[in-house]
Chains A and B, each alone.
Chain A
Amino acid sequence: MQALDVLLKGRNLARLLQGLWVTLSLSLAAIALSVALGLLVGMLMTMKNRAIRAFCRLWLETIRIVPQLVLLFLVYFGMAKAFDIQLSGEASAVIVFTFWGAGEMGDLVRGAVQSIPRHQTESANALGLTRGQVYRYVIIPQTVRRLIPQAINLATRMIKTTSLIMLIGVVEVLKVAQQIIDNARYDALQAAVGIYGVVFFLYFIVCWPISLAAGRLEKKWA
Chain B
Amino acid sequence: MANPLLEVRHISKGFDGTGVLEDVSLTVHEGEVLVVVGPSGCGKSTLLRCINGLERIDSGEILLRGKPITGEKRDLVAVRQKVGMVFQSYDLFPHMDVMGNLLLGPTKALRRPKAEVEAEAMAMLKRVGLEEKAHALPRTLSGGQKQRVALVRAMLMKPEMLLLDEITAALDPEMVREVLNVVLDLAKEGMTMAIVTHEMRFAEAVADRVIFLEGGVIVEEGAPAQFFHHPKTERARQFLNTFVYEAAKKQSENSADA
Contact = CB atoms under 8 A, between A and B. Distances in A.
Interface stretch (B27-35, B79-87, B207-215, B222-230): B79-87
Interface string A151-184: 0000000000000000000000000000000000
A127 B54 contact: no
Nearest to A141: B95
Given A133-B108, A137-B104, A137-B108, A125 B80 contact: yes
B130 to A, nearest CB: 18
B93 A124 contact: yes
B52 A126 contact: yes
Most buried by B among A123, A127, A129: A127
Contact of A122 (B87, B109, B110): B87
Interface in A92-137: 117, 119-120, 122-130, 133, 137
B77 A123 contact: no
Q: How large is the interface on A (under 10, 10 to 19, 20 to 34, 35 or more residues)?
A: 10 to 19
A43 to B, nearest CB: 21
Contact of A120 (B84, B93, B108, B153): B93
Interface in B87-103: 87, 89, 91-95
Given A141-B95, A142-B94, A127 B87 contact: no
A138 interface: yes
Contacts of A129: 77, 104-105, 108-109
B80 A119 contact: no
B157 interface: yes
Contacts of B93: 120, 123-124, 137-138, 142
Nearest to B79: A128
B156 to A, nearest CB: 9
A128 B109 contact: yes
A127 B91 contact: no
B91 A120 contact: yes
B109 A133 contact: yes
A126 B54 contact: yes
A15 interface: no
B87 A123 contact: yes
Nearest to B108: A133
Interface string B228-255: 0000000000000000000000000000
A99 to B, nearest CB: 33
A127 B52 contact: no
Contacts of B76: 125
Interface in B154-168: 154, 157
Given A133-B109, A142-B94, A127 B89 contact: no
A81 to B, nearest CB: 51
B79 to A, nearest CB: 8
A57 B10 CA distance: 45
Contact of B110 (A120, A123, A124, A128): A128
B25 to A, nearest CB: 23
Of A122, A142, A145, most buried by chain B (CB within 10 Å of CB) is A122
Given A125-B54, A125-B80, A128-B77, A119 B104 contact: no
B80 A128 contact: yes
Contacts of A221: 95
A141 B94 CA distance: 10
Nearest to A142: B95
A117 B76 CA distance: 21
Contacts of A125: 53-54, 76, 80
26 contacts: A117-B89, A119-B91, A120-B93, A122-B87, A122-B91, A123-B85, A123-B91, A123-B92, A125-B54, A125-B80, A126-B54, A126-B86, A126-B87, A127-B153, A127-B154, A127-B157, A128-B77, A128-B157, A129-B77, A129-B104, A130-B77, A130-B109, A133-B108, A137-B93, A138-B93, A142-B95
Q: Which 10 A-B pairs have the closest CB atoms?
A: A128-B81, A127-B105, A123-B91, A126-B85, A128-B109, A128-B80, A119-B91, A129-B109, A119-B89, A141-B95
Given A119-B89, A126-B86, A133-B109, 7 more contacts: A122-B91, A123-B91, A123-B92, A126-B84, A128-B77, A128-B80, A138-B104
